[in-house]
Amino acid sequence: MTQKSDKPDVSEPPVDEHRIPVAQWDEIILADAELRKAQTAEAAIAEKHKNAKGRTAACQESLNKLIQQATTGTWQPELPLSPPEKDWRDVALADLAELPIPAAVLRSLRENDPSLETLGELGDFTEKFDLTVIKGIGPAAVEKVTAATDAYWAKHPVEEPAESAQATD
């Protein structure tokens, strides 16, 4: 026993040409094609909906886990909660807010060859040279630069790697 479908078979014109006028047959074929497109789109949307529900459930599970960890004191974030600090070597001398370096001293450091505009560049230079070799930098200016960098390091201490700390124990 074959089951009768609710949808007419439009793949071929009906045998009884008197039931459907031939002029309308093209319209029926176009309407059937549009129906199939709509069904395909509906199936794709249903699949997207299913995927979105899965993502929603996964996000809800992660949120519940974080809330539970936060309330029980077992917090273990998988991602950093704050952006990592800028590498100290890239910190601009002009940005040292704790104890700013005077503009005239910054200008002398910038005009030096090599130009000294970051903590890293300053550190590399002072490993080999005294700042007083720079035109416009005297003992008073060295004291201001030293005070500014000391203030920075007091607020942003650099932790030694665990291996170095263990080696000194």
Question: Do residues 148 and 104 make contact, with C-beta atoms less than 8 angstroms apart?
Answer: no
Would the pLDDT of 120 be above 80?
A: yes
Give the global pTM: 0.46
Rounded to 5 degrees, φ, ψ at 130 are -90, 140
Q: How many CB atoms lie within 10 A of CB 120?
A: 14
Q: How much is the pLDDT for 88?
A: 84
- 92 forms beta bridges with 118
Give the model confidence (pLDDT) of 67-83 as tens digits: 888 788 776 655 555 55
Place of tokens 């450091």: 109
| pLDDT for residue 13 is more than 70 | no
Residue 36 CA, chain-centre distance (Å), reads 41
User: Is residue 99 packed enough to be buried (19+ CB in 10 Å), middle (13-18) or exposed (0-12)?
Assistant: middle
pLDDT of residue 52: 74
| Residue 129 buriedness (CB in 10 A; 0-12 / 13-18 / 19+) | exposed
CB 106 within 8 A of CB 96: no
Cα separation, 108 vs 96, in Å, equals: 16
> Is pLDDT of 96 > 70?
yes
Backbone angle region of 20, left / alpha / beta, with phi > 0 → left and psi within -120 to 50 → alpha: beta
| Residue 165 reports pLDDT greater than 80 | no
Arithmetic mean of pLDDT, 154-165: 66
Distances (CA, A) of 13 to 16, 21, 33, 114: 8, 10, 15, 87
